[in-house]
Structure 1
Amino acid sequence: MNVDRSYFVTTDTPNVSLSFTYKTIFSYNSISRNTNVSISYRNKPNLIITPKNFIMDSDQTIIYEYWGYNYDNITIPKSVTKIEEKVFENSTIEKFYFTEDSQIIEIQNDAFKNCSKMRSFNYSFPNLQTLGISSFKDCINLENFTFSSPNLIVMKNAFENCITLKNVINVSSIPYQCFCGCTNLQEVTIQEGLEKI
């Protein structure tokens, strides 16, 4: 279901709690404040939907799902430590921004899979520890990927079929089929101390 109405939940709306049995997509400006949600298939207490249409825990440390559309760019909040599986899969977001001192530790499997409009991904904070299996697979317009985490574990197939990927900077490991199908890859900058390819 799509909610195309602006200001579906506003700052003037009395306390409201929404309940869902399936994923619902909200347009830009549909949700104006953090709102409690219950999602039957998630079976998690204390979930909220934010004005950026993230489904998160109430502490805003985990992004479970993204329910937005018609966004060109999005900023991941500083408080986020984990992006769950398939959160942005099939998204048309072009650019992801991270607030200063971002705390992300883990990007799980398929988190950004098939983000067909994303052109670059720059995560310049040292906290990131894990890039899950196929986390950026099929991002066909992704050209550059940069991160600065010294202990980052990259799982297999992380960049599979990123056919326009040219540069990957600061890799500390290259697992099985990490760059399979990356036909335009020109440069991979490897961190000092790489132990396994």
Structure 2
Amino acid sequence: MFSVEKTRDVIRGVLQDSDRIQYTKLACEHEELTKVMKRLRGFVQELTEKYESARSLDPMRRYKKLQSMAKTIVLSLRLTEPDSLDTSLTEGVRGSLPRGDVLQSSVKIREMKLKHERACNKFTSDEVATEIEKLIQQNQSLQFHIDELIDAINELDEKQKCSKTEPFIKRYVLLKSAIKDVIRFVQTDQTA
């Protein structure tokens, strides 16, 4: 009726120290941040490819293509990262916007937690403390890079909106430089 393994897991869970719980939480957070960063890099990689393919076009066609690229990356960001919305939006508007794939099934979350708990059980207490420090640093670094990239994309959106009243040449130059800034940010991030 009762298996030895399940009993052992229950006892281990009850006696689990706070470091192991913190490790599991940080490891799950790290996995989520890595997924977000990979998705954002994918958006920018697509932007880079489209930007390179548009170089041969005349300025008018290229401007239209640049506008399309900017709108695409901003829309992709808004749909997948609802927290990236401009702070100027009110809570009522923010709550009514679609939220992409923000909600994960409880099964996926449980599996992720179980995977990290198993990995944690292989560590000694000292190794867990060391791993916690590493994860804290990695999570802070990932969160910083994600925030910077989201800010760069928001800046691209803002420059596009602000330049609508400017003459064509200035709009073209502003949009081109904003897209280059987003691309440059990811290129410097990958080399670092």
Superposed pair shares fold, TM > 0.5:
no
TM-score by length of 1: 0.20
TM-score by length of 2: 0.21
Q: Higher RCO, 1 or 2 (CA under 8 Å, sep at least 6)? A: 2
Which protein has the larger Cα radius of gyration, Structure 1 or Structure 2?
2
Relative to its length, the structure with more strand (as a share) is 1
Which structure is higher in helix share? Answer: 2
